Amino acid sequence: MRYRPSACAHPHQRYRAAAGAGVGCWAWTLRGMASSRTIICCASKTASNAGRAFVFMQLGIPVVADMTPECCQIVQQGRTGFVAQSAAGWHDALERLIVSATLRQHLAENAADLFATLYNRQAYVAQLLAGMTDLLAASAAAHSSTCHPCRAPCCRRPICPADTRQRNGCTACSRRLAVWCGGYVA
């Protein structure tokens, strides 16, 4: 259900009516057609979905969102939008946005800037590359600490798959290694 304000209603009355309507998300306009009075209210159906708030913030539209873990991560209280927990919190956030056009503009610009810097493709690739590099370094460190060079089939210790040496001396199982390789221990 989407709230559609009437053409004759005063702007403040339209937002107050929407806040009391109990619907999930109200979008009056999209970016490009957005007036200085555009505000998005996102009430999440689940605690792990901040999708609507994410999209509208990316478009540079001020957002009032539910206090869910996901919304708290992307909405910076008072800087890129507002997070509300109670009816009084929703009322206060909407009232502040309704009254102040400069606050709406400030939040819209900050939200668009946040998404332009943090959620662009280059930043994501850099974060992914750094994470994969750390993961590979940790894996290599764990691998070298558990690697055992013995290649004898009777040895039950972990064998390093990167070790290309065919016959290595093993102090723990040198006797079995000597038998396995025909008496030759390198």
8 A C-beta contact, residue 26 and residue 40: yes
Average pLDDT for residues 31-37, to the nearest whole number?
46
pLDDT at 44 over 60: no
Q: Of 143, 152, 182, 158, which Cα lies nearest the Cα of 170?
A: 152
Instruction: For residue 66, count other CB atoms closer than 10 A to its CB.
Output: 24
State the residue for tokens 């806040």.
Answer: 19
pLDDT of residue 139: 73
Q: Which residues of 138-177 are buried (b: 16+ CB within 10 A; e: fewer)?
A: eeeeeeeeeebebbbeebeeebbeeeeeebbebeebeeeb
pLDDT of residue 133: 87
- For the chain, the structural domain boundaries read 11-119, 123-180
pLDDT over 70 percentage in the chain:
47
Average pLDDT for residues 142-147, to the nearest whole number?
53
pLDDT of residue 144: 53
State the residue for tokens 């957002």.
Answer: 63
pTM of the model: 0.46
Average pLDDT for residues 19-44, to the nearest whole number?
46
* CATH among 3.40.50.2000, 3.90.230.10, 3.40.718.10, 3.40.50.1460 for 11-119: 3.40.50.2000
pLDDT of residue 142: 63
pLDDT of residue 24: 37
Query: Distance (Å, rounded) from C-alpha 49 to C-alpha 68?
Result: 8
Query: Distance (Å, rounded) from C-alpha 180 to C-alpha 104?
Result: 78
Question: Quick one: DSSP state of residue 64?
Answer: E
pLDDT of residue 34: 47
